[in-house]
Amino acid sequence: MNLFRFCSGLKVLGYFVILLVITFVAVSYYAVVVNTWWPILIENNHRALSALACLIIFVFHFLLIMLLWSYFTAVCTDPGSVPEHFRRELVVVGDSLEAGTSTEQGALGYCPKCRNVKPPRCHHCSVCQRCVLKMDHHCVWIVNCVGARNYKFFLLFLLYTFLETLLDVVVLLPSFIEFFSQAIKRSSSPSQLASLVLAFVLNLAFVLSLLCFIVMHLSLVSTNTTSVEVHEKSGDVRWKYDLGKRKNFEQVFGKKKAFWLLPLYSKDDLHNITSLQGLEFPTRSDIDP
Ligand SMILES: [Zn+2]
Ligand SMILES: [Zn+2]
């Protein structure tokens, strides 16, 4: 069995996954807004309940916009590939195509599949079939690799999806319980029941799995480690890219606070924070690079 052929298959599956994400959003929208809270907003005379419905509908739409914005930015942003001047260096270095070729950029690795040098923290992705800068993992949900230039957008997608699905679970819970007790008594409207149950169960599953994933990535960001590098780190030795929690966070999210929760970077951050370009990474001063 050819594993690489299987990996290429994942790429095709990816486009189907985008449709799946959109379907999931549509089902949740129907269950939360169309079926539950919009009718409450327009049909009842209770002021407090109307205000609550208004708030829920507003927050739902706000999170939905942020979620889709982060999602499509993560899908469309190139995580970063090895630039041309690295290829030229390979030619200058000559015939010795070996790992650890040393240049002014620091120790460079060598990828036998691309037949090319690779900058620090760069890894070859078998699905994309190329080297990806500061590769974290290949994500079927965004049909893209997660790397130096789109890691923040991927994390924001996780965050907003978690908040949106959490909101869905909380605001669907009362109708979920009510519908179930009614269904047992007099089996009321099967199509509404189906969308409600589907949306509730899917959202609950996403909330729980996203929580685990977010906790994992929080610990990775706080130590400036990628998912690939977890296996490279050796026990007691301080990780050379670990600059302290605050600086590690800025290496991914940038220094401008106003941009932290947006799938964007300020021009200054893109220019000054070299790790966002994915070629050079600052290391701890007490450890030789
Ligand atoms: Zn490669
Ligand atoms: Zn990939």
For 69-78, what is the mean pLDDT?
A: 95
Strands 130-132 and 144-146 come out as unpaired
Cα 69 to ligand 2 centre (Å): 21
Q: What's the pLDDT at 99? A: 41
Residues with CB under 5 A from ligand 1 (ion): 111, 113-114, 124, 131
Spatial distance between the Cα atoms of 107 and 11, rounded to a whole number of angstroms: 32
| Nearest ligand to the CA atom of 125 | 2
For 264-282, what is the mean pLDDT?
A: 93
Answer for the pair 122, 115: CB distance below 8 angstroms, yes or no: no
Spatial distance between the Cα atoms of 245 and 236, rounded to a whole number of angstroms: 18
Percent of the chain past pLDDT 90, that is, above it, reads: 62
Answer for the pair 222, 248: CB distance below 8 angstroms, yes or no: yes
What pTM, to 2 d.p., does this model score?
0.87
> Is residue 288 over pLDDT 80?
no
Percent of the chain past pLDDT 70, that is, above it, reads: 83
Cα 167 to ligand 2 centre (Å): 31
Q: Mean pLDDT in the chain?
A: 86
DSSP states of 1-57 as a string? --HHHHHHHHHHHHHHHHHHHHHHHHHHHIIIIIIIIHHHHHH---HHHHHHHHHHH
| Nearest ligand to the CA atom of 135 | 2
- Residue-wise pLDDT for 138-175, tens only, equals 998 899 999 999 999 999 999 999 999 999 999 999 98
Vertex 149: Cα angle to 143 and 154 (nearest 5): 50
- Residue-wise pLDDT for 176-208, tens only, equals 888 777 655 555 577 778 889 999 999 999 999
139: which strand partners? 144
Cα 108 to ligand 2 centre (Å): 20
Residue 7 pLDDT class (50, 70, 90 cuts): low
Q: In whole angstroms, what separates CA 252 from the centre of its chain?
A: 12
- State phi, psi for 79 to the nearest 5 degrees: -65, -15
Q: Which residue has the higher pLDDT, 195 or 29?
A: 29
Q: What's the pLDDT at 287? A: 63
For 14-20, what is the mean pLDDT?
A: 83
Cα 281 to ligand 2 centre (Å): 21
Q: Which long-range contacts (CB under 8 A, 24 or more apart) does 4-8 make?
A: 4/126, 4/129, 7/126, 7/127, 7/138, 8/127, 8/129
Cα 149 to ligand 2 centre (Å): 13
> Is residue 30 over pLDDT 80?
yes
**Is 145 in the active site?**
no
Q: Choosing from 111, 139, 145, 212, which is the catalytic residue?
A: 139
| Nearest ligand to the CA atom of 123 | 1
- Residue-wise pLDDT for 36-54, tens only, equals 999 999 987 888 999 999 9
